[in-house]
Structures are given as structure tokens and as C-alpha cells.
């Protein structure tokens, strides 16, 4: 990786995680949140499998992730995505109680009239560059 970085002119920083595995920086979240094409939603504080942890921990994960993300982007966060798509009725009730409007599971599919707002299916984007991803998002936004 060091040699590849040198070849590409990217300095190696052992403290910096690989781009594909690191979390976003606050300024990246702010930029993303400014887009009119998508919403920034919460995904928990520490990424636990929510149905497997105590209910008071679920509450902390769901509520603090919402408030901290709102502090960063400066606008309300109303959508949630369950870590690993794992959910239960109790987890969904906590997400609803925390003030989210809806939440995504990991079940593939398109949301419809019969989809539960707190267990929405989702579509999975393929690995695309920025321009391809924008075109792909626009087809869904206009479709």
C-alpha cells in the first residue's frame, strides 16, 4: 500500500484508516447533508447489533447517534438504518420513540404502500464512481 501510495502521489499516513473503512469526517458529513438528492440518516453510535443489546443501550445508541449527527450537520436527522439490518419490534419502537420518521432494514427491495415505515427494504448501489452514482441516484429520484 505504501508503494502504491507513493506511485499515486498520495503520502502514507499510518494514523489514517483506509478510505473504504474509515468513518466520514464532520466536514464531509456537512457537505453530504447539503445535497438536495439525499438525506443523511443515523446508523447508531457504535454499530452494535441492536436486538442483542440491553434496551437501555439501544436507547443510547439510537438517541445519541441522532443528536450528535444533528449537531454536526446542523439540521434534523429523521431517518435511521439498523446496523447489519438487524431489528426487532422493540428496537423499532425505540427508533420511533426517538423521533425518527422511518428506518431501513437490510432486506432488498423497493418500498411500497405495504412497507412498514420502521422496517423499510432498500436498494443496494453497486460500486460506482461519483458521476455514475449521481446518474444512478437521479434515475431513482426521477423514476
> Which pLDDT tens digits describe the chain residue by residue (143 residues)?
566 566 666 666 666 555 556 778 899 999 999 988 888 999 999 999 999 999 999 999 999 999 999 999 999 999 999 999 999 999 999 999 999 999 999 888 778 888 899 999 987 767 777 788 788 777 766 65
- Position 36 scores a pLDDT of 84
- Position 127 scores a pLDDT of 75
At 19, list the grid cell: 478510505
Compute the distance between CA of residue 6 and CA of residue 80 in angstroms, rounded to an integer.
39
- Position 95 scores a pLDDT of 98
Residues in the chain: 143
At 46, list the grid cell: 457504535
Sheet of 102-108: strand order equals 79-81, 102-108, 120-122
What b/e sequence results for 7-43 when a residue is b if at least 16 CB atoms lie within 10 Å of its CB, and e otherwise?
Answer: eeeeeeeeeeeeeeeeeeeeeeeeeebeeeeeebbbb
- Position 136 scores a pLDDT of 77
Coil, strand or helix at 71: helix
> What are the φ/ψ torsions at residue 25 (nearest 5 degrees)?
-80, 155
Positive/negative CA dihedral, 41, 108, 83, 100? positive
CATH class of 36-142: alpha beta
- Position 38 scores a pLDDT of 82
Q: In this structure, are residues 121 and 110 in contact, taking their beta carbons and an 8 Å threshold? A: yes
- Position 66 scores a pLDDT of 98
- Position 42 scores a pLDDT of 95
**Within 13 A of 32's CA, how many CA atoms are on the CB side?**
15
- Position 131 scores a pLDDT of 83
Amino acid at each position: 500500500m505504501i508503494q502504491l501510495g507513493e506511485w499515486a502521489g498520495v503520502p502514507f499516513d499510518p494514523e489514517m484508516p483506509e478510505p473504504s473503512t474509515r468513518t466520514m469526517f464532520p466536514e464531509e458529513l456537512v457537505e453530504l447533508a447539503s445535497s438536495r438528492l439525499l438525506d443523511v440518516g443515523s446508523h447508531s453510535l457504535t454499530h452494535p447489533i441492536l436486538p442483542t443489546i440491553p434496551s437501555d443501550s439501544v436507547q443510547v445508541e439510537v438517541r445519541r447517534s441522532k443528536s450528535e449527527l444533528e449537531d454536526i450537520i446542523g439540521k434534523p436527522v429523521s431517518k435511521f438504518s439498523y446496523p447489519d439490518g438487524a431489528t426487532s419490534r422493540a428496537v423499532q419502537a425505540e427508533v420511533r420513540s426517538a423521533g425518527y420518521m422511518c428506518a431501513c432494514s437490510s432486506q432488498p427491495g423497493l418500498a411500497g404502500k405495504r412497507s412498514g415505515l420502521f422496517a423499510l427494504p432498500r436498494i443496494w448501489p453497486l460500486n460506482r464512481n461519483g458521476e455514475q452514482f449521481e446518474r444512478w441516484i437521479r434515475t431513482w429520484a426521477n423514476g
